[in-house]
Amino acid sequence: MRTMIMILTISTALLAGGKKSCCGPTPTETFAAFGKDMAFVALHDAPAPLAWQSSGGIERQLPVDGGPDARIYQVSPPERTRSFLFVFHEWWGLNDYIKREAERLQQELGNVEVIAVDLYDGAIAAVPESARVFVGRVKDARARAIIASVTKFAGPDARIATLGWCFGGGWSMQSALMLGPQAAGCVIYYGMPEQDPAKLAALHCDVLGIFALRDGFITPAVVTEFQQNMKKAKKKVDVLNFDAVHAFANPSNPKYDSAMSAQAHTAALAFLRRSLRIQ
């Protein structure tokens, strides 16, 4: 029988930046290592073809200090807003599936500016072999510079929530840490969470973690450790554990589970509405 377990933990305080932890690898290094593990690569079948047309999102480039421009996919509401959602792609890159999801999130949330952030600098993988190369090319400093540029674009008065899947789930967590008091909420779909309690102590927002019990890499043990570290840091995390495999919520994945994905999506929307104070 498919089961879903919801586990609650604890409460709030301050922010941390992005230095490499003395206690382990950075998120970039973690996923670069995953990309070298053929068992992890085997979890990711090539994305199914997608026939899709944009309903209003636009591609933009933003200046980045000390490097080439950043690429984003921006989906705006009819009226200006201070509420933003930063969306982080899986290890395939900022493909049409992510753009479509950014548009869907904007339509469902309403008066929220949704920005899908490209951490691959334009590269998009169509097969696992390319994805493992692209994820290995991501540099921590460059990814953080891109996020800083997008944050500057949103403005100092913006309230910003974050959401990402797999590779992007880890960066949803790291961007929330980078955002300081502007962070409104963080959703991680089966991504590598931050495990350093000292860094977590500086987090300014609550976290929703959506994980898969049959994930051999972001394992239940990893999730439990994350919950324990969030408790040490006196932060609040809600965890949803689904009896599913890694990437179960990715519609391009042949192992996509529509029922569990719908439950996860409903929970994510409710969390984002609370976090961004959307009626």
pLDDT surpasses 70 at 11? no
Q: Please name which of 204, 201, 198, 147 lies closest in space to residue 170, comparing C-alpha atoms.
A: 147
**Could you tell me the residue range of the domain that residue 256 belongs to?**
4-276
Q: Please report the pLDDT score of residue 4 as a whole number.
A: 37
pLDDT digits (tens, 9 = 90+) for 66-82: 999 999 999 999 999 99
Q: Which residues pair with 186 in a beta bridge?
A: 162, 207
Average pLDDT on 170-196 reads 97
Q: Please name which of 51, 53, 4, 88 lies closest in space to residue 257, comparing C-alpha atoms.
A: 4
- Strand runs labelled E in the chain: 4-8, 58-64, 67-75, 83-88, 113-118, 159-165, 183-189, 207-212, 237-242
Cβ(145)–Cβ(67) below 8 Å? yes
Average pLDDT on 221-236 reads 98
Q: Please report the pLDDT score of residue 16 as a whole number.
A: 34
Percentage of the chain exceeding pLDDT 70: 91
**Rounded mean pLDDT of the chain?**
89
pLDDT digits (tens, 9 = 90+) for 108-160: 999 999 999 999 999 999 999 999 999 999 999 999 999 999 999 999 999 99
Q: Please report the pLDDT score of residue 24 as a whole number.
A: 59
Q: Please report the pLDDT score of residue 271 as a whole number.
A: 98
Give the global pTM: 0.90
Instruction: Provide the edge-to-edge strand list for the sheet that holds 183-189.
Output: 4-8, 237-242, 207-212, 183-189, 159-165, 83-88, 113-118, 67-75, 58-64
pLDDT surpasses 80 at 220? yes
Q: Please report the pLDDT score of residue 124 as a whole number.
A: 97
pLDDT surpasses 70 at 190? yes
Average pLDDT on 231-243 reads 98
Q: How far, CA to CA in Å, does 87 sit from each of 16, 33, 118, 173, 231?
A: 20, 23, 9, 11, 26
**What's the total number of domains in the chain?**
1
Nearest-angstrom CA–CA distance, 41 and 128: 6
Q: Give Cβ neighbours of residue 119 (< 8 Å, ≥ 6 apart).
A: 88, 89, 138, 143, 146, 167, 168, 171
More confident residue, 12 or 199: 199
pLDDT surpasses 80 at 30? no
CATH code (residue 153):
3.40.50.1820
Which residue matches tokens 């085997």?
Answer: 42
Nearest-angstrom CA–CA distance, 166 and 82: 27
Characterize the bridge pairing of strands 58-64 and 67-75.
antiparallel
Nearest-angstrom CA–CA distance, 150 and 26: 21
* DSSP secondary structure, 67-131, as one string: EEEEEEEEE--SS--SEEEEEE--TT-S-HHHHHHHHHHHHHH-S-EEEEEESSTT---SSHHHH
Nearest-angstrom CA–CA distance, 254 and 276: 33
